[in-house]
Each structure stands twice: as C-alpha cells, then as structure tokens.
Amino acid sequence: MITRAGAGPLRRLVVLRHAKSAWPPDGPGVPDHDRPLAPRGRRDAPAAGRALAAADCLPDLALCSTALRARQTWELAAAQWGTPPPVRHDPRLYAADVPGLLAVVGEVPPEVRTLLLVGHNPGLENLVLDLAGDGLDDTLDRVRTKFPTSAIAVLAWRGAEWRALAPGTALLTWVTVPRGRKK
C-alpha cells in the first residue's frame, strides 16, 4: 500500500542499472570503478535509451555514477535522444545504499519532474523495492526476482520536493530490460 507523500506535482524517478560490464584485457588488476562495458553492454545501453524514448520517459536531469560502466551506459543511452538532458556525475552514487541514493536524489531541484538515476546494484534494486508502496501488474515481482544489467524501473509519486521521496511513497509503473541485437 502506498503511503501518502503529500500534494504536489507528479514526478517520475527513472532508475537505470548500468549495462553489462567486462573485465578488460588487463584482467582483475583493473579497479572495479574503471571496468568498461562489455560488447553486450555496448549493444544494450543504446536499446535502453530507445526504450526510454519510446515510453516517453525522457528525463529533465540525469544523475550518474562516476564508474566507467555507468558513464558509458549514460552516454550510449542519451545518444539515442535528440537533445539529452543535463547530467551530473556524482561519486556518491558508486556503491551507494538506499539512504545514500536518497540523499543524492533529495538534492535535486524541484523544477525537475523526471529524474534519471544511472547506477549499480544492489543499491538500485533495493531503492526501487523500498520506494514502491505498490506496483502495476507484476512489476514488483519482476524486480524482486531480478534487476539485471540494463534494467529500467519507473517510479511515479507526488511531492513538492525530491527530498520528500520516502519508502513506500511511489508507484512502480514500469519495468523493462532492453536488449540490443548482435550484428
């Protein structure tokens, strides 16, 4: 059941888990933060951008982890749109837990109605499950089962400011896992 967050405009939090990453040829000596996208991730990230455009879920602002795989996911997804929104690369999003993610989201200006968050699991999956007081169709079950790379979840809620977003206050409206085609 959704807890009433209060009056205010309808807002959407779009959560995008980075696309499939790889260990570069240098192997395990590469820091986790510097891991690039794998070939599958390079196919899936543009598919995620196309899926967001097709669903009319383009953001007013994007917040992206500073990890290479998240930045590459953002760049490839946003390249699918005519005019990408501004992006803020925030190191706090790397390996963030739910309170950390909510702290960053809470700093977003109130003019932003649709916010895209590009980051990592388990933080993103936990965020979606914590915020969703309810979900349409089988969306909650799908996220509980698995929130794989390139997964997108859209949460809708009403509130005057982003810092009012709290556990149980949103409705999970859409979940998809876009996949690109091999050439």
d(CA 176, CA 183) in angstroms, rounded, equals 22
The pTM of the full predicted model, rounded to 2 decimals, is 0.93
Q: What is residue 100's predicted lDDT score, i.e. its pLDDT?
A: 97
108 C-beta neighbours (distance < 10 Å), count:
20
Question: Of 169, 126, 131, 157, nearest to 144 (Cα)?
Answer: 126
- Residue 9 confidence (pLDDT): 87
pLDDT of residue 31: 87
The first and second tokens of residue 2, run together, are: 């959704």
Q: What is the pLDDT of residue 28?
A: 67
Residues of the chain with pLDDT under 70: 1-6, 26-28
Please give the structure tokens belonging to residue 41: 């991730």
Alpha carbon 2 to its chain centroid, in Å, reads 21
What pLDDT, on the 0 to 100 scale, is given for residue 3? 45
> What is the per-residue pLDDT for 20?
96
Phi, psi of 34 (to 5 degrees): -100, 10
